[in-house]
């Protein structure tokens, strides 16, 4: 009822009627589709060639033999232990008991005992799919222990393999987090296992175990997750990411000389096609509204189409992914390279998807590109309210290569590559001195690939003290654990260097490690073949639009009045051991995104000042207008609190989105009230622009619907002072009961 009233208040009765009518129509359409799937086997029968390796140089690159992911992490994967979304390392199996989250703990009631013949699946798989599922299960080696892919192994809540994918309920049970099985089902650990296989080519026994585990886990998933059934088909984004990780891992094994048995190869190829058809039929485009999920759909189709043999259907997927990737890069990324969702973490994820899918499409053979030129999209059936596809041929452009050898055509225009360069520059420019990015907006720790995550070794006892989400984690206190650095983005810079070979990318992270030895760099180079793109622009030059003389005069005028105006509030004063103003300060302005950066070797200040530039997607934004992140002398003094979790604990999620959780002069009551129990509700920040942004500080005027109000940051020798006038909130310290999260579900003591 509250939602109905909110729609009426904002949009009127006609809008409410249209939404109700649309929902009724959707329910009718879905039930017709459900009945079509209910009585049939949803596994497909293969009538095309098996997938083959397209990767020709990865195994020849000796640098991969230095792959440095900790052995303990790989051993955990082999034992079916996973550390995802704040779970800590947990062994996942049928009948497991979860530790619970914030007092919520469910009895799984899953007493299944897998058997070699697959008879146990009769209780789990819908009848039309049981025969095929059990046949696939029998391909698994007898000593393999099944993984429970349907369980939220943090809370213990379990979804059913028999539930049709559009009937999966999300957020209906407090404490149950659908993102946990989704994250596990992305299977981003498989490429890590494949890379480890390559790096230990003189240890055949270890290689045998890794290869066997890869094969068994794939077959386990396919057998226990029939297409269109269960929680792991509910979100096409995760279907896309899973297929891409499967294909990269499969290719790494194949290009290393592995010859899979024909039954596995056929089953694997059939499932990849199932993934592709599921994505095409369920694109996350809703009447033109779309964001990172739709971008993931496109990226997934790019990988699937690139690996499958050329035919009318698969070529249409490739052509579609090219067309839509160009469109979405222009739509979802501003001209300055920043992402329209107002989240630094989602910028990272979306940039990954763009870079890797661009690379695999650029690496297509000349023959495949010629086939794509003739494609007309007519074999695509994305459904209603989806992209409006017309019969037309792809345009091809001159490829801006550094070398002129080989074929020189590209389906991507030159401006597209320039935009990618700017995306990477955004990551470089916002990096803190410790290498991490600031947290603006939501963070679900989402990645497209995790080829070589940055792991920090920590003893279990110390980890439990450091990460309060691990309280009660049952592990020997002296056991060495490895925890992923969730805010490190070096892999983006490495991937960018593989694509453009820009010297400033190389220098950005070259200290202490070689960028050309990173797994992301090596894999990108393998996918690209001989292609290296000529940079389309010089190194980013900071804008001086907010620091010219008129702006500086305004800033100085307000600064001079501070001592005379008793109503102006000195919110906080931060001190440094050395002169801040004399340091070699770099200023980076991203007005489209709404982020302004001051940085030097010992100083970092990020100011959030969102302008309201369109288009924007605010479902992952926070009430963080004029918040800051601050480091002085290498110490983090003010950091964003993050997001914690999404749907399982909506009240907590809302706390983390609220103004009170941020170092901002605003209060949540200053904004239009939203429906707290609706996840990812589109919030409405008050658009602002700097009146001054320069080496002396920052000023924004008319910040609270009051022509006399202002917000001023003064950088003065060894001090940073923050003043405000015209706000209700006088103390900016965030809520004391909101702990800082370092990633989704991960928070520090």
pLDDT single digits (tens) 85-112: 999 899 999 999 998 988 899 987 766 7
The DSSP-derived string for 418-429 is HHHHHHHHHHHH
Q: Which of 144, 157, 93 is nearest to 115 (CA)?
A: 144
pLDDT single digits (tens) 285-300: 987 889 999 999 999 9
pLDDT single digits (tens) 563-599: 665 678 888 899 988 888 667 889 999 999 999 999 9
Band of pLDDT at residue 544, cut at 50, 70 and 90: low
d(CA 577, CA 696): 18
List, in sequence order, every beta strand (DSSP E) within 275-334: none
Across the chain, mean pLDDT equals 87
- φ, ψ dihedrals at 251, nearest 5°: -65, -40
Q: How many CA atoms lie within 13 A of 718 on its CB side?
A: 5
- Low-confidence winner among 182-191, 220-229, 438-447, 657-666 (lowest mean pLDDT): 657-666
d(CA 349, CA 345): 6
pLDDT single digits (tens) 462-490: 666 667 666 767 666 666 778 888 899 99
Question: Would you say residue 227 has pLDDT above 50?
Answer: yes
Q: Which of 748, 747, 745 is nearest to 152 (CA)?
A: 745
d(CA 598, CA 582): 13
d(CA 250, CA 246): 6
- Low-confidence winner among 313-317, 546-550, 621-625 (lowest mean pLDDT): 546-550
Quickly tell me which residue has 């389906």 as its tokens: 411
Q: Is the pTM of the predicted complex or chain greater than 0.85? A: yes
Q: What pLDDT was estimated at residue 32?
A: 85
Who wins on pLDDT, 153 or 485?
153
Band of pLDDT at residue 387, cut at 50, 70 and 90: confident
Q: What pLDDT was estimated at residue 701?
A: 93
d(CA 542, CA 258): 50
Q: What pLDDT was estimated at residue 546?
A: 85
Determine the Cα angle at 409 with ends 408 and 410, to 5°: 130
Band of pLDDT at residue 81, cut at 50, 70 and 90: very high
């Amino acid at each position: 009822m509250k939602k109905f009233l909110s729609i009426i208040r904002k949009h009127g009765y006609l809008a409410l009627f249209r939404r109700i009518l649309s929902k009724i129509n959707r329910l009718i359409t879905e039930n017709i589709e459900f009945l079509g799937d209910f009585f049939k086997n949803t596994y497909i029968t293969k009538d095309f060639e098996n997938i083959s390796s397209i990767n020709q140089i990865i195994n020849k690159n000796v640098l991969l033999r230095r792959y440095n992911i900790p052995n303990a992490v790989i051993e955990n994967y082999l034992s079916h232990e996973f550390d995802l979304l704040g779970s800590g390392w947990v062994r996942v199996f049928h009948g497991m008991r979860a530790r619970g989250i914030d007092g919520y703990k469910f009895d799984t009631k899953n007493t299944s005992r897998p058997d070699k013949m697959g008879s146990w699946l009769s209780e789990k798989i819908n009848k039309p799919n049981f025969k095929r599922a059990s046949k696939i299960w029998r391909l698994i080696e007898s000593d393999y222990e099944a993984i429970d892919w349907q369980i939220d192994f943090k809370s213990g809540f379990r979804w059913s393999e028999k539930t049709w994918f559009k009937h999966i309920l999300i957020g209906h049970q407090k404490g149950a987090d659908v993102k946990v099985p989704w994250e596990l089902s992305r299977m981003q650990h498989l490429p890590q296992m494949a890379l480890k296989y390559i790096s230990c080519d003189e240890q055949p026994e270890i290689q045998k175990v890794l290869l066997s585990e890869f094969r068994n886990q794939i077959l386990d998933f396919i057998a226990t997750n029939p297409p269109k059934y269960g929680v792991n088909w509910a979100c096409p984004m995760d279907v896309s990411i899973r297929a891409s990780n499967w294909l990269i891992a499969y290719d790494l094994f194949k290009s290393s000389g592995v010859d899979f048995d024909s039954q596995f190869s056929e089953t694997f190829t059939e499932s990849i096609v199932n993934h592709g058809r599921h994505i095409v039929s369920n694109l996350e485009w809703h009447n033109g509204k779309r964001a990172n999920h739709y971008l993931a759909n496109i990226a997934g189709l790019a990988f699937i189409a690139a690996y499958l043999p050329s035919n009318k259907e698969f070529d249409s997927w490739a052509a579609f992914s090219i067309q839509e990737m160009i469109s979405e890069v222009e739509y979802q990324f501003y001209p300055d390279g920043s992402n329209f969702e107002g989240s630094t973490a989602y910028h990272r994820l979306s940039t990954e998807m763009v870079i890797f899918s661009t690379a695999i499409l650029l690496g297509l053979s000349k023959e495949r590109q010629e086939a794509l030129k003739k494609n007309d999209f007519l074999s695509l059936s994305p459904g209603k309210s989806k992209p409006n596809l017309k019969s037309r041929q792809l345009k091809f452009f001159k490829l801006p290569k550094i070398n002129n050898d080989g074929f020189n055509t590209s389906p991507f225009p030159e401006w597209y590559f320039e935009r990618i360069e700017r995306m990477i520059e955004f990551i470089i420019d916002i990096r803190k001195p410790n290498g991490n990015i600031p947290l603006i907006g939501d963070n679900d720790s989402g990645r497209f690939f995790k080829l070589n995550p940055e792991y920090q070794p920590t003893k279990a006892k110390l980890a439990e003290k450091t990460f309060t989400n691990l309280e009660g984690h049952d592990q020997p206190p002296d056991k060495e654990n490895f925890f992923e650095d969730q805010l490190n983005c070096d892999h983006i810079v490495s991937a960018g260097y593989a694509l453009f070979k820009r010297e400033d990318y190389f220098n950005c992270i070259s200290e202490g490690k070689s960028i050309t030895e990173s797994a992301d760099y090596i894999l990108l180079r393998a996918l690209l073949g001989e292609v290296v793109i000529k940079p389309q622009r010089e190194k980013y030059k900071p804008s001086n639009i907010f620091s010219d003389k008129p702006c500086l005069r305004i800033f100085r005028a307000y600064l001079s009045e501070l001592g005379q105006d008793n109503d102006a509030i000195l919110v906080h004063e931060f001190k440094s051991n050395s002169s801040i103003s004399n340091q070699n300060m770099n200023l980076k302005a991203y007005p489209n995104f709404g982020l302004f950066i001051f940085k030097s070797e010992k100083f970092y200040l990020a100011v959030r000042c969102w302008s309201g530039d369109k288009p924007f997607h605010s479902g992952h934004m926070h009430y963080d207008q004029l918040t800051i992140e601050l480091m002085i002398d290498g110490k983090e003094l003010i950091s964003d609190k993050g997001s914690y979790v999404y749907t399982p604990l909506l009240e907590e999620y809302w706390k983390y989105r609220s103004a009170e959780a941020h170092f901002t002069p605003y209060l949540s009551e200053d904004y239009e009230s939203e429906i707290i129990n609706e996840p990812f509700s589109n919030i409405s920040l008050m658009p602002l622009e700097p009146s001054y942004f320069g080496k002396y500080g920052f000023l924004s005027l008319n910040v609270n619907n009051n022509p006399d109000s202002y917000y001023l940051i003064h950088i003065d020798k060894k001090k940073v002072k923050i003043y405000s006038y015209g706000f209700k909130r006088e103390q900016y310290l965030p809520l004391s009961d909101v702990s800082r999260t370092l990633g989704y579900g991960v928070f520090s003591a």
